[in-house]
Every structure is written in structure tokens, then in C-alpha cells.
Amino acid sequence: MDGSALVSVDQIEGIIFFIRGQKVILSPHLAELYEIEPRVLVQAVKRNIERFPKDFMFQLTDDEFQNLKSQIVISSWGGSRRANPYAFTEQGVAMLSSVLRSKRAVQANIQIMRTFVQLRQMLAVHKDLEGKLTALEKKYDAQFKVVFDAIRALMTPLEKPRRKIGFEVKEGRAGYARRKRS
């Protein structure tokens, strides 16, 4: 099984959230990637809880969960929940591969690790560019301010255009109009 055919990096990036100052993936999303039920994932973790210290995994508070639901506009997370989902850091996801031993889980973890590495590399490149740009800006006078502003604008990530919801009615003349009789 090829890891790239499993799930794309873009799809994984879409389920990585920044909570409590850490990049995490929630248990329902991981269960979906591993093609298991969320309760099965949580049971496996609880059976091996010594492998998951607080910096590997934590459970969302009610406020965090409500805030997250409102941010990503999801009305239902698979029906009623007794408990809030768990959030797994990069190390927690790596540890999951030792707890869940299926081929699917291993392949999904490989792809998730690649995504985390790619995100880290992108952040490092942007920090390097930002530092170099600031140094150049200090070195040269105001005549280059326009150039620096344009470079900064190019460095900011583009927002993906939102897909329109609903339908568009194109009004024209009615198809049942009368013809002139000769």
C-alpha cells in the first residue's frame, strides 16, 4: 500500500488545529484516517495510557470544544457525545502507531508525520525570509519601502476562495412567450 494514495497532505493539513499552543489532530479525525470507530481508538489509548503523557495527548475542555466547533462550523460530530474528543500532538500520533498495529494505521501515520515535517519546514522558511527582509529593510532607506511591502504581500499565504452555497437564477425572457402570427 502506497502512503501517498492513502490521504493527501492537503487533507491532513485541514485537520491539524492549533490548540493550547500546539499543533494537534483530534481523535475523531484520526479514527477516520485509520478507518476505525473513535471509541476503538480511545479504548486502545486508555489501555496503553502510560504511553501518552500530557504533552502527547490531552482531552479538550468544554470551552475548547465549543470554540472549535464554532470556528469550523460543524453542527454535529457524529451524533451525541458523552466526552469531548482527545487532541494528539505529533508525538502522540507517532505513539499511536505502536498502539494501533494495523497496516492502515501505520500508513496513515507515515503520511501524518510527513505532513507535520512539511509544516515545520514551511514555518522555518518563512521565519528565515522574514528575518532577512527585516535586515534588508533596516539597511536601505525609504525609497525601497514599496518593494519591501510588495515582497511581504507575496509572502502572505493566499486565502482559498470560498465555494458558493445555493444556486443562481439567471432570468431571461420566458420560454413560453407568444409568437406573432402572420
The listed range with the strongest mean pLDDT (13-17, 40-44, 63-67) is: 40-44
Which of 66, 93, 119 is the last residue before a domain boundary?
119
Using 50, 70 and 90 to split pLDDT, how confident is the model at 147?
A: low
Examine the domain organization and report whether 107 and 56 are in the same domain. Answer: yes
Give burial (CB, 10 Å; 0-12/13-18/19+) of 182.
exposed
177 lies in some domain: no
* 73 and 130 together in one domain: no
Entry pTM: 0.59
Looking at the structure, do residues 113 and 130 belong to the same domain, yes or no?
Answer: no
Q: What is the mean pLDDT of residues 20-46?
A: 90
Q: Is 123 within 8 Å of 16 (Cβ atoms)?
A: no
Are 68 and 151 in a shared domain? Answer: no
Residue 54 in any domain: the answer is yes
Residues 19 and 69 in one domain: yes
Statement to judge: residues 127 and 109 lie in one domain: no
> Do 56 and 127 belong to one domain?
no
Grid cell locating 14:
485541514
Q: What are phi and psi of 125, to 5 degrees?
A: -65, -45
What is the reported pLDDT for 22?
A: 87
Same domain, 96 and 144: no
The whole-angstrom separation of Cα 37 and Cα 42 is 9
**Lowest mean pLDDT segment, chosen from 61-75, 100-114, 116-130, 147-161:** 147-161
Mean pLDDT of 133-143: 67
* Domain endpoint, select from 119, 146, 174: 119
| Domains in the chain, number | 2
**pLDDT digits 0-9 by tens, 61-107:** 988 888 887 776 654 555 556 788 999 998 898 888 888 878 888 78
Across 109-123, average pLDDT: 81
Cell numbers describing residue 162: 470560498
- Are 59 and 143 members of one domain? no
71 and 46: one domain?
yes
Note whether 48 and 91 are same-domain residues: yes
* Shared domain check, 127 and 101: no
- Structural domain for 144, as ranges: 122-155
